[in-house]
Amino acid sequence: MFADYTWTELGSIFAMQGFAGLILFSVFVLMALGLAIIFGQMGVINMAHGEFMILGAYVTYLCSNFFQAFLPGLFSIYFFIAMALAFVAAGALGAFVEWALIRHLYKRPLDTLLATWGLSLIMQQAYRSIFGAREVGVTLPDWLLGSIALTDIIEIPINGLFVMALTLVIAVGVYFLMFKSRMGMQTRAVVQNRVMAGAVGINTEWVDRKTYALGCGIAGIAGSAFTMIGSTGPTAGQLYIVDTFLIVVFGGAASLLGTIASSFAISQAQSTMEFFLSGSMAKVLTLLTVVGILMLRPEGLFSHKIRR
Amino acid sequence: MLQIDHYHVAYGQSEVLHGLDFTVAPGEIVAIMGRNGMGKTTLMKSLMGIVPTSQGSAQVDGIDVTALKSFERVSRGIAYVPQGRMIFPTMTVQENIETGLTTSGSTKVPDGIYELFPVLLDMKSRRGGNLSGGQQQQLAIARALATNPKVLLLDEPTEGIQPSIIREMARVLKRIRDERGLSIIVSEQVLSFALDVADRILVLENGRLVHDEPRSSVDEAKVAGFLSV
């Protein structure tokens, strides 16, 4: 399969596919960070995670239209406002869902799968009723369009660089929030032993709500970033939820570093193989590798080495 | 400091504690003794708000805490060292102690805590789950003390711990009481430890208090009789 290309062409293909993989990696990381908090930390199987992401994407779409129509002068910075609104909208909906649905199911983690799957269907239909079944796209401001030409054949899109920078900022932020802040410490305490966390003075219900809302809010930001590389439809979230769970499980459910490492491995493998093989063959090979590795390391790539 | 009146606790329909009445004075160490299944752990859990109280009341320093949730009771001055320690395994020793600071809002571990348990200072960056049983017990007590309690509950603290550390623990508990003037309730099956540490000994049998006597006048043979199977 390499025979038709010269060495320079092959080098460029790997470089550009590698970069496309990095962009996919960034969106995966954003999606998976939220899920790593909700699934990895809280143990809730959130099948509606993709729909929270799409909520962020629709908020970005609405923002884009609003700024085009009413505030064209500020259009170049609308994306930052859209991201903040996406975080708030998805986070607020997350807090409501936690209160109405999830908090009754902490003792029945498998039932969260069914409940949130139902929630995802409701949300998809809501999007279809409100925004229509057709996919929508957002207009990007000029400074995000175009690409930087590194050599004659290697070009790097600017919006890709932006998504990567955004991912870095969010990942570092989540790390500090979970491992260096008081809220993160309380979250980890509640996750490890809910009863005991209450008995040392932590308001466990409030911590649960904040944590779930945070995970959903990050999914909203992921959705905002997602609008730059794909178009938004009611069921677009479904395409990503399986990959995202795969990443979180493969990386080791409780480890943020593992989540990032496994996003990198999976997105690079997919993106490079997709160029040479068909998309489904690429997926089959990725899945087979992941299954093989999980058989050897059932707790994922990165797991804590402690007595339990 | 702690006053318990007509205290009934039930799991669903099956009642475990059938109306307990006792008080614990400030600075008093009370040992609650009894064989397995007599209700010691249930009493501890219900005082901490983990198991609901079906009738009666518990007051800390004159304030009724019966209807409060666990975390609210902590801010009223109850702290809990559970059976099996239940430290947070993947968090460091320091973080484990810091979880106890939630109600006070302070960010620094009080100096006195590491002074009581110097071994924890040496290990403050290790994960709690990797400590030995005895060290975990000290960590659980340190975490409870970080909440700055008025009443400290310890549920079978000697379980699974070597004899030399048990004697050390009795010394530390008395030192904590002397320095901080708090009340301590310890549930126990080991008579020697209870006699070593307590000012008063209560015996719980089938959910009722059947014996209540100060340490000075206690009849060892009689209490031992309650504990034999």
What per-residue confidence (pLDDT) applies to A11? 81
Q: Nearest C-alpha of chain A: how many angstroms from B221?
A: 36
Query: Could you give the domains of chain B?
Result: 2-88+150-227 (3.40.50.300)
Answer yes or no: are the C-beta atoms of A225 and A57 closer than 8 Å: no
Average model confidence (pLDDT) for chain A? 86
| Res. B78: pLDDT tops 90 | yes
- Give the range among A96-100, A202-206, A254-258, B89-93 with minimum mean pLDDT: A254-258
Q: Nearest C-alpha of chain A: how many angstroms from B151?
A: 13
Give the mean pLDDT of B9-28.
Answer: 91
CA B100, A207, A50: angle at the middle one, nearest 5? 145
A304 compared with A209, residue with greater pLDDT: A209
Region of B201 please: left (phi>0), alpha (psi -120 to 50) or beta: beta
| Res. B39: pLDDT tops 60 | yes
Give the mean pLDDT of B112-120.
Answer: 91
* Cα separation values, B222 from A3, A43, B21, B192, Å: 93, 50, 21, 14
What per-residue confidence (pLDDT) applies to A304? 67
B1 compared with A126, residue with greater pLDDT: A126
Give the mean pLDDT of A281-304.
Answer: 83
From chain A, pick out residues whose CB is under 8 angstroms from the CB of B88: 188-189, 192-193, 196-197
Residue A275 confidence class, pLDDT cut points 50, 70, 90: confident
From chain B, pick out residues whose CB is under 8 angstroms from the CB of A308: 89, 129
Name the residue among B70, B89, B129 with its Cβ closest to that of A198. B70
Asked if B147 and A185 come within 8 Å (Cβ–Cβ), the reply is no
Q: Which of A253-257, A280-284, B80-84 has the highest mean pLDDT?
A: B80-84
Asked if A192 and B90 come within 8 Å (Cβ–Cβ), the reply is yes
Helices (H), chain A: 7-35, 49-70, 78-100, 109-131, 158-179, 182-192, 194-199, 204-226, 236-251, 256-276, 279-296
Name the residue among B50, B86, B99 with its Cβ closest to that of A185. B99
- Percent of chain A beyond pLDDT 70? 97
| Res. A73: pLDDT tops 70 | yes
- Give the range among A91-105, A142-156, A181-195 with minimum mean pLDDT: A142-156
Give residue-wise pLDDT tens across range A156-191: 888 888 888 999 999 999 989 888 898 899 998 988
Q: Which residue of A has its CA nearest to B143?
A: A200
Name the residue among B48, B74, B90 with its Cβ closest to that of A304. B90
Give the mean pLDDT of A278-306.
Answer: 81
Q: Nearest C-alpha of chain A: how many angstroms from B145?
A: 10
Q: Which of A228, A229, A280, A271 is nearest to A17 (CA)?
A: A271
How many Cβ pairs closer than 8 A exist between chain A and B?
Answer: 79
* Cα separation values, B144 from A292, B48, B103, B107, B193, Å: 45, 12, 12, 15, 20
| Segment (H or E) for B10 | strand B2-11
Q: Which contacts qualify for B70-76: CB closer than 8 Å, 24 or more apart?
A: B70/A195, B70/A198, B70/A199, B71/A198, B71/A199, B71/A201, B71/A202, B71/A203, B71/A204, B71/B102, B71/B103, B73/B48, B73/B49, B74/A199, B74/A200, B74/A201, B74/B102, B74/B103, B74/B147, B74/B149, B75/A201, B75/B103
Answer yes or no: are the C-beta atoms of B164 and B192 closer than 8 Å: no
What per-residue confidence (pLDDT) applies to B24? 93
Q: Nearest C-alpha of chain B: how many angstroms from A118?
A: 32
Which residues, 6+ apart, have CB-to-CB distance to B15 below 8 Å? B8, B9, B54, B207
Residue B8 confidence class, pLDDT cut points 50, 70, 90: very high
Q: What ipTM score was computed for the predicted complex, to two decimals?
A: 0.88
Beta-sheet strand order (sheet of B14-24)? B14-24, B2-11, B53-60, B63-64
d(CA A57, CA A34): 15
* Cα separation values, B41 from A106, B62, B135, B188, Å: 24, 24, 22, 10
Give residue-wise pLDDT tens across range A27-71: 888 888 888 888 877 888 889 999 999 999 999 999 999 998 988
Average model confidence (pLDDT) for chain B? 90
Name the residue among B71, B98, B107 with its Cβ closest to that of A203. B71
d(CA B225, CA B5): 27
- Percent of chain B beyond pLDDT 70? 100
Give residue-wise pLDDT tens across range B188-205: 988 889 999 999 999 999
Asked if B103 and A193 come within 8 Å (Cβ–Cβ), the reply is no
Q: Nearest C-alpha of chain B: how many angstroms from A92?
A: 25
What per-residue confidence (pLDDT) applies to A2? 66
What per-residue confidence (pLDDT) applies to A93? 96
From chain B, pick out residues whose CB is under 8 angstroms from the CB of A185: 91, 95, 98-99
| Res. A307: pLDDT tops 70 | no
Q: Is the dihedral of CA B209, B210, B216, B220 positive or negative?
A: negative
Q: Which of A118-122, A139-143, A226-230 has the highest mean pLDDT?
A: A118-122
Asked if A195 and B70 come within 8 Å (Cβ–Cβ), the reply is yes
Residue B120 confidence class, pLDDT cut points 50, 70, 90: very high
Q: Nearest C-alpha of chain A: how many angstroms from B140?
A: 10
Helices (H), A107-153: 109-131
| Res. B161: pLDDT tops 60 | yes
**Burial of A292 per CB tally in 10 Å (0-12, 13-18, 19+):** exposed
Interface mutation target, options B45, B46, B47, B70, chain A, most CBs of A under 10 Å? B70
Answer yes or no: are the C-beta atoms of A59 and A180 closer than 8 Å: no
What per-residue confidence (pLDDT) applies to B106? 83
